[in-house]
Amino acid sequence: MSAPISRNSPSPGLLSDEVTQFDGAEALLRAWGRGLTPDPWLTVSEWSDTHRWLSSRASAEPGRYRTERTPYMRAIMDALSPGDPTQRVVFMKAAQVGATEAGNNWIGFVIHHAPGPMLAVQPTVELAKRNSRQRIDPLIEESPALKERVRPARARDSGNTQLSKDFPGGVLVMTGANSAVGLRSMPARYVFLDEVDAYPASADEEGDPVGLAEARSLTFAHRRKVFLVSTPTIRGVSRIEREYEASDQRRFFVPCPHCGAMQWLRFERLRWEKGKPETAAYHCDACDEPIEEHDKPAMLAAGEWRATAEARDARTVGFHLSALYSPPGWKSWADIARDKETAAGSDEAERVFRNTVLGETWIETGDAPDWQRIAERREDWHAGTVPDKGLFLTAGADVQKDRIEVDVWAWGRGLESWLVDHVVIEGGPAHPECWDALTDLLGRSWRHAGGAELGLARLAIDTGYETAAVYGWARSVGFAQVAPVKGLEGFNRASPVSGPTFVDATAGGKRLRRGARLWTVATSTFKAETYRFLRLARPTPEELEAGAEFPPGTVHLPGWADTEWIRQLTAEQLVTVRNRRGFAKLEWQKIRERNEALDCRVYARAAAWIAGADRWPEATWADLEAQLGVPSGMDSPAGMIGRPDVSPQGKRRSDWLGRREGWF
């Protein structure tokens, strides 16, 4: 006789005779049956329509998520589903087309249906924390299927922190691309890389953040999924463009409501009467008939993604989408036409339009401006004096073997700037008297056209040569006025200046912890900006007499700036170079041997950024102008950027400015 067999479930006979003979047995059996029923096989888009709820904290359209609102996102989300063989999904897109919410849908799907370790990367750790508060927490709280799987943060040992969310079978870790530790913290089956073009060139100097993050997924082989999303930046340095061009380059084709021809939407086919953006209509590529905004929902619903190239890697698919596809109620064709008209005449505004509306890269003009034309534009004011619209001063110092060169710049509304002084301190970093002279410069003041005395708000000094000596001097004078800077090649959209970070400084052979505060500067960003500003068209004398204003960013040079200095200011050009793998990148290269004027300008511009000029509210510029006796420019176009503060009567402006803003 065989031994009795242990069963995990009741036998059929017992179910009918014994087990069901008590109150509640039927409900128990139903629950048991539900537990044995596998979850339905859903794609990411199907899961989103079934389980995702949008919070009023994180969405302008709260309520149940509907993929039909943005039909173009369906194929992108479904490529992230486990059943799709795609391993890498690249999405180069305009701003505000629903990409981030699609990424959050994927996070929710992973937590609920395909658990595993997941890494979500924002440009910086601070942005990762903000995204966690504003996006991920509402995602979990508003969707019941997720709320029951992620314990509340207040629960003991919940595993729910600001940058980490534990759930059965996996964990979501959020970090910044500027943190090498965060990027290499764990293996990850899923990797969500958001706004990759805003990532720094290197994570804590340990390498490309995208490469570091993707390396976390390699152990999962064919089961891994990587989602790269971004609005693009500059041609040749844009990560997302490089990844898209290596993919199959899919475009979203939609039918013409008149002739039915399938086409992807191009900005060139959007037409309107000049000065009347409300007349904007899209003209069919085949029949040239105007298509109105109200036709867009039906077009989007019938659209489909089509590959337009052959991918270098069959496991990678790429999607591109402009704001022309934005659903009704978001960004209309009239809004796009209005944005284009507003951007006309400004390189900076045109770049923003191309990046954020068209989802395309901007081609940076890297040719050096004609130094002779710049020399012809020199203006007359005395050396060492500040023109009336200059509102605060910064300086950039370049340390050479036998000297320190310093340029003092005045800044006004809209980052309009004037070269105020050029100082050469002979002797070099090996001579104490050289550093004494630089210290004396910190205490010097320059007379404003209105009669006030202005001191330096900030002096940025390069640490690339004789680093220890620069750190030692900066530590001795304090970091109230002085900002040691380190230049890094490459563009950085998130922030051209990062820091400060504490670095060791050598003093008499001793290593000092937290000895100096170092700022990192993306020099390419400020060099390109300087060249754009130098190329700005200027009003004629007659237009100035009639009350015209110089454009924001205009660079004014005095008559005493000699041709050698101007040549140094235009001593580099931006060229495209290719690495051994064939990837193109932009690189600044010298066309003249000496470039100290350009370097000093970049450092002085970084000092203005560190002082806060790019972030000050505009409303207080008028207060500054009033105290310096300058006619208010609040209504001028230049009045839209930044604000320094002003010193009360009888006090050096830099001292009072620092105390008021809490910089030291």
Beta-ladder partners of 575: 587
Cβ–Cβ < 8 Å for 251, 320: yes
Six token digits for residue 419: 């070269």
**pLDDT at 36 (0 to 100):** 65
Structural domain boundaries in the chain: 44-249+310-324, 253-308, 371-428+440-461+518-629
**pLDDT at 590 (0 to 100):** 84
Find out whether the peptide bond into 500 is cis, omega within 30 degrees of 0.
Answer: yes
- d(CA 41, CA 591) in angstroms, rounded, equals 61
Cβ–Cβ < 8 Å for 623, 644: no
CA R_g for the chain: 30
Distance of CA 563 to the CA centre of its chain: 37
Six token digits for residue 443: 């205490």
**pLDDT at 226 (0 to 100):** 96
**pLDDT at 613 (0 to 100):** 85
- Assess if CATH 3.40.50.300 describes domain 44-249+310-324: yes
- Determine the Cα angle at 361 with ends 359 and 367, to 5°: 155
Six token digits for residue 644: 């320094």
What's the one-letter identity of residue 421? D
What number of CA atoms fall less than 13 Å from residue 190's CA on the CB side? 25
Backbone φ and ψ of 222, nearest 5°: -70, -10
By three-state DSSP, how is residue 503 classified?
A: strand
Six token digits for residue 375: 């020399």
Beta-ladder partners of 176: 122
Mode of pairing for the β-strands spanning 510-522 and 497-507: antiparallel
- d(CA 659, CA 664) in angstroms, rounded, equals 7
**pLDDT at 636 (0 to 100):** 43
**pLDDT < 50: residue spans in the chain:** 1-14, 509, 634-664
Distance of CA 412 to the CA centre of its chain: 25
DSSP string, 56-92: TTT-SS-EE--GGGSTTHHHHHHTTSTTS---EEEEE
Q: 371-428+440-461+518-629, which class in CATH?
A: alpha beta
